[in-house]
């Protein structure tokens, strides 16, 4: 039960129920789809850039609480970040959900993203959390193919 509480934290349940930046961005520079066919999680991430800074990031789509909250939190965290910062957050988020960041100080530094630390106890759900991130990354890398993390 304690593991479950760590998985379904308030932040995650809240972002699932009231996803932020949950809309299509009409004048987006990039939009890429992410789709995990086995579970049906399906999102499109929209990005608008100003130089090498993300000036707008939104998403639409549907899926489980973990994937939707992950997309929502990601959108709030990445707005205003440079591509270098995005790259580093992308890596840190992966380390976090795979249980590779152990010390509390490093986890705390991740702010709202820290809520996803509990996923490391549920290995089959890691793919849900990272789907929006891989979708965003493909948009930045200007790859237009649909992403899957299965």
Partner 1 sequence: MNSVASIFDAFPVDKVRRDFPILSSNVHGKPLVYLDNAASNQKPKPVLDAIQDYYTAQHSNVHRGVHFLSGLATEKYEEARIKVRNYINAGSENEIIFVRGATEAINLAAAVFGKKNLEQGDEVLITELEHHSNIVPWQMICEEKGARLRVAPINDSGEVMLDKFESMLTSNVKIAAISHVSNALGTVNPVKQMIEMAHRKKIPVLVDGAQAMPHLRVDVRDLDADFYVFSSHKVFGPTGIGVLYGKAQLLESLPPYQGGGDMIKSVTFEKTVFNDIPYKFEAGTPHIEGAVGLGAAIDYLNSFDWRIVQDYEQALLKFAEKEISKIDGLKIIGTAKEKAGVISFVMEDIHPHDVGTILDSEGIAIRTGHHCAQPVMERFGIPATARASFAFYNTREEIHALVQSIQKVKEIFAHV
C-beta closer to partner 1: residue 28 or 134: 134
- Write down the least CB distance from residue 1 to partner 1, Å: 7
Match 């509390």 to its residue by tokens: 104
- Write down the least CB distance from residue 36 to partner 1, Å: 10
C-beta closer to partner 1: residue 30 or 43: 43
C-beta closer to partner 1: residue 38 or 105: 38
Q: In sequence order, what are the residues at sequence separation of 6 or more whose Cβ sits closer than 8 angstroms to the Cβ of residue 40? A: 62, 63
Q: In sequence order, what are the residues at sequence separation of 6 or more whose Cβ sits closer than 8 angstroms to the Cβ of residue 66? A: 7, 12, 116, 119, 125, 128, 129
Q: Which stretches of the chain bind partner 1, using CB under 8 A?
A: 1, 3-4, 7-8, 10, 13-14, 16-17, 37-42, 62-66, 122, 124-125, 128
- Write down the least CB distance from residue 33 to partner 1, Å: 14
C-beta closer to partner 1: residue 40 or 80: 40
- Write down the least CB distance from residue 112 to partner 1, Å: 15
Query: How far, in Å, CA of 30 to CA of 3, rounded?
Result: 37
Q: Tell me the C-alpha to C-alpha distance, in Å, between residue 37 and each of 28, 46, 63, 105.
A: 25, 20, 11, 36
Cβ–Cβ under 8 Å, residues 73 and 115: yes
């Amino acid at each position: 039960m304690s593991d479950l509480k760590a998985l379904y934290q308030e932040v995650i349940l809240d972002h699932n129920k009231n996803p932020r930046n949950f809309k299509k961005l009409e004048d987006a520079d990039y939009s890429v789809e992410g789709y995990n066919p086995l579970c049906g999680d399906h999102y499109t991430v929209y990005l608008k850039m100003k130089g090498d800074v993300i000036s707008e990031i939104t998403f639409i789509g549907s899926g489980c609480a973990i994937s939707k909250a992950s997309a929502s939190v990601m959108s709030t965290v990445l707005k205003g970040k440079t591509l270098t910062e995005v790259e580093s957050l992308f890596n840190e988020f992966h380390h976090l959900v795979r249980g590779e960041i152990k010390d509390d100080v490093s986890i705390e530094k991740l702010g709202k993203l820290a809520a996803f630390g509990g996923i490391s106890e549920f290995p089959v759900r890691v793919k849900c959390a990272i789907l929006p991130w891989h979708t965003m990354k493909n948009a930045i890398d200007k790859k237009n193919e649909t992403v899957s993390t299965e």
